[in-house]
Chain A
Amino acid sequence: MERLHSPAELEAFRKAVLTDRAPDQPCITLCAGSACHACGCNDVAEAVRVELAKQGLADRVHLRLTGCHGFCERGPILVIQPESVCYFQLTAADVPEIIEKTVKAGERVERLLYVDPDSGDPLAREDEIPFYKHQQRIVFGSNGSIDPKSIEDYVAIGGYSALAKALSEMTPEQVLDEVKRANLRGRGGGGFPAGIKWEGTRNAPDPVKYVVVNADEGDPGAYMDRSLLEGNPHAVLEGLILGAYAVGAHEGYVYVRQEYPLAVENVTLAIQKAEELGLLGDDILGSGFSFRVKVHRGAGAFVCGESTALMTALEGRVGEPRPKYIRSNVRGLWNRPTVLNNVETWANVPLIIQNGADWFTRIGTETSSGTKIFSIVGKITNTGLVEVPMGMPLRDIVYKIGGGIPGGKRLKAVQTGGPSGGCLPEHMLDLPVGFDELTQAGSMMGSGGMIVMDEDTCMVDVARYFIEFLTDESCGKCVPCREGLRQMLAILTRICRGEGRDGDLEILEDLSVVAKEAALCGLGKSAPNPFLSTLRYFRDEYEAHIREKRCPALSCKDLIAFHIDPDRCRACGRCRRKCPAEAISGAKNVIHQIDQDLCTKCGTCLEVCPERFGAVRKISGEPVPPPLPEDQRTVRARG
């Protein structure tokens, strides 16, 4: 590739790329994100290639493998441009029909279209489907239309024009000022204003400064940073270069967890391509500004997402947070001023520079401008990644976009903010999602994890789950976290086992206060949140566990039992055949029974018992009815 020496040359390059691509030439985009990959998108891609070749269309129809489109629930997803007809949940066998009908004849394949759950109508285009319709995808939208391995694709959609604009028309101060005015708040944790952080670095006297991308994404159950970095690495890179220009850094790092090999691969490739084009390296676009980026793979430790631990890890050490009381934007990596921002924060920067701070602040709310990407998962119909303007009520995200709770169950809580966040109960669903709103409600924005829980989710177990996660991930340096969490976990585990005691909640509250006030880093300080927020909104569940040894959600294994209702069992034998513990006795016409001593409470029998019988029940807090005497076990004809 030719190196570009000026913004004009970048424009010429863009024109050349666009001319090469006739806009009305059909293009098949296929999601190759993690979830679609697991659902076999590779086979679909291969089938498309074979079919296009067979039909002699190989050079008239383009196939593009993209990053995650967001609607992972319905993968593999195939979109045919320019009409944007979407097909969901494909298999390789569907491909010939799609090519035949849609690509060649412009018709639709009805059976593969999304069906509107309310009206029952088939919907063909992305912008008609409720999941997409209610979103505002300014950051994430490009994911579905570019091949992350192609810098041409990014340039074709206007990529690197913000950089060209900044380098040729703006001073570093102006770039900084624009980001400050946009009130871009950090998307990875506390929501700290990026512009103010950058200013501290810019004003620090040390001439050597660094900029860093935090792609450690440790929140278990969230994958928006991964999908951005996998699907649109150049956007993150462009933001990083702009940040470096604004603060005067000449070296940058992308800290990305090695569990994300595709993200590592794509961002490494993106850096290489950008260097070849002269968008990175010396004298970028002839501006005299030089900047280089290295990729550093994180070796797997949640605490390394914390800013000082991340910097320690970048230096090649054990990722323990530093005890310093000096901000890392003034003394960070190798004690130099360092700007650390989250993947999504960086990806917003080119948009702000391109469209201006005023455009950005018009989106969202007064104190939280722009959009936020959430990973909406758990007990939700449309699992996926959604980008919405800040301030959208939780209810709209869950119901309008997420499609509500599957299986006719009731929503119990929405957990946001990852392990440092909290659970919001049903009655708070009208809360607008914004940094300050969530914090006030006892949760937080965090990096955008949003876990939907229904009536089957035990809130005590959720608290136990997060504390267990954090106990495992604590670096172990300071005592309120290492020892405090160890004890909290022991107590919560006991409660879930039905061995809770009076006074347990008071000890837990004591330990929470001490962790909050005295732990060294954010992990320990926020670790009690999942406990405190569930206690605040679901105290009755704690009390049921402790006092009545009952799990109201019928979820804690030690507090539940499976029982076959003799009046409903029709002796079909399915449960007996499927029970992995061979705990079920019965035969043809003999009412089935579970031997409680053998049962491992796996729940298989409940799942396989035919719905029309519904004979298997989960019970908690009451004794299991005694087994029937042998002579009463014959199934009677129903009268």
Chain B
Amino acid sequence: MDIARVDQIIDRYGADESYLIQVLLDIQTENNWLPHEALERVAERLRVPLSRILHIATFYKAFSTVPKGRHRIHVCMGTACHVRGAQRVLDAVQEATGIKPGETDLELKFSLETVNCLGCCALGPVMEIDGKTYGKMTPAETAEALRNHD
């Protein structure tokens, strides 16, 4: 990621340490992950120790310190979806993609994450691929939905 772009994001807020998480969120949104140089730049500009930034970047779920795949799969593991069989959906995704939650496959095709409640409990179990919601999923339909992505 371009360091000048990191500077622009910081300037949106002002170089104040209380904006640290907001700045990191913007970098994450724009770049899909947090490259080390970007974190170093943020540390320098906001005058926050790098060790603290690394803790933040690994503490919160929104951040990733490694690149993500082209397609982002979110399987809802919220309670409503859990009692309606979310685990079976997750199993089906893992079987089809060969990756576990938090992982990205080697071809950078899929990244898999679990989330808690997408606000569509009526449609549980729910999964999202690239922001599109798939409701009332069965293992068979899950595998089918994944086949339509490359």
Task: Encode contact with B along A392-425: 1 for CB under 8 Å, 0 otherwise.
Answer: 0000000000000000000000010010000000
Q: Identify 19 residue pairs between A and B in the complex whose beta-carbon atoms are under 8 Å apart, listed by A's number.
A: A35-B123, A39-B123, A72-B121, A220-B117, A221-B121, A259-B115, A298-B21, A301-B59, A301-B60, A316-B16, A316-B17, A316-B20, A317-B20, A318-B56, A378-B79, A378-B83, A379-B84, A449-B79, A578-B140
Chain A residue numbers with a CB within 8 Å of B84 are 378-379
Choose among B19, B60, B121 the residue that contacts A223 (Cβ–Cβ < 8 A).
Answer: B121
CB of B53, distance to nearest CB on chain A (Å):
10
**Nearest residue, chain B, Cβ from A222:** B117
Task: Encode contact with A along B99-135: 1 for CB under 8 Å, 0 otherwise.
Answer: 0000000000000000111111111101000000101
Task: Encode contact with A along B74-113: 1 for CB under 8 Å, 0 otherwise.
Answer: 0001111111110110011001000000000000000000
CB of B23, distance to nearest CB on chain A (Å):
9
Cβ-based interface call for A265 (8 A): no
CB of B146, distance to nearest CB on chain A (Å):
12
A299 and B21 contacting across the interface, CB-CB below 8 Å: yes
Which chain A residues numbered 21 to 66 have a C-beta less than 8 Å away from chain B? 33-35, 37-39
Cβ-based interface call for B12 (8 A): no
Cβ-based interface call for B55 (8 A): yes
Chain B residue numbers with a CB within 8 Å of A297 are 21-22, 25
Chain A residue numbers with a CB within 8 Å of B92 are 580, 602
**Nearest residue, chain A, Cβ from B59:** A318
Kindly state the separation between the CA atoms of A453 and B17 in the bound complex, as whole angstroms: 45
Contact residues of B with A, CB < 8 Å?
A: 16-22, 24-25, 48, 52, 55-56, 59-63, 77-85, 87-88, 91-92, 95, 115-124, 126, 133, 135, 138-140, 143
A296 and B119 contacting across the interface, CB-CB below 8 Å: no
A600 and B95 contacting across the interface, CB-CB below 8 Å: yes
A300 and B80 contacting across the interface, CB-CB below 8 Å: no
A377 and B140 contacting across the interface, CB-CB below 8 Å: no
Task: Tally A-B pairs: CB < 8 A.
Answer: 147
Number of interface residues of A (CB under 8 A): 60
Q: Would you list the 4 A-B pairs with minimal beta carbon distance, nearest first?
A: A221-B79, A300-B61, A34-B119, A299-B60
Kindly state the separation between the CA atoms of A465 and B85 in the bound complex, as whole angstroms: 12
Chain B residue numbers with a CB within 8 Å of A219 are 79, 117
A378 and B59 contacting across the interface, CB-CB below 8 Å: no
A75 and B116 contacting across the interface, CB-CB below 8 Å: no
Kindly state the separation between the CA atoms of A457 and B81 in the bound complex, as whole angstroms: 12
Choose among B22, B25, B79, B124 the residue that contacts A465 (Cβ–Cβ < 8 A).
Answer: B79
A469 and B116 contacting across the interface, CB-CB below 8 Å: yes
Mostly, the B contact residues are helix
Kindly state the separation between the CA atoms of A451 and B82 in the bound complex, as whole angstroms: 10
**Nearest residue, chain A, Cβ from B124:** A377
A580 and B17 contacting across the interface, CB-CB below 8 Å: no
Chain B residue numbers with a CB within 8 Å of A258 are 25, 62
Known interface pairs A226-B119, A469-B116. Does A220 touch B77 (Cβ–Cβ under 8 Å)?
yes
Chain A residue numbers with a CB within 8 Å of B80 are 221, 377-378, 383, 451
**Nearest residue, chain A, Cβ from B126:** A38
Which chain A residues numbered 563 to 618 have a C-beta less than 8 Å away from chain B? 578, 580, 600, 602-604, 607
Chain B residue numbers with a CB within 8 Å of A384 are 122
Which chain A residues numbered 220 to 243 have a C-beta less than 8 Å away from chain B? 220-223, 226-227
Chain A residue numbers with a CB within 8 Å of B139 are 580, 602-604
Kindly state the separation between the CA atoms of A94 and B97 in the bound complex, as whole angstroms: 38
Q: A35-B122, A299-B21, A580-B92 are in contact. List 5 more A-B contacts (CB 8 A).
A: A33-B119, A39-B123, A260-B119, A319-B60, A378-B84
Choose among A37, A72, A465 the residue that contacts B82 (Cβ–Cβ < 8 A).
Answer: A465
Chain A residue numbers with a CB within 8 Å of B133 are 37-38
Choose among A38, A259, A415, A580 the residue that contacts B79 (Cβ–Cβ < 8 A).
Answer: A415
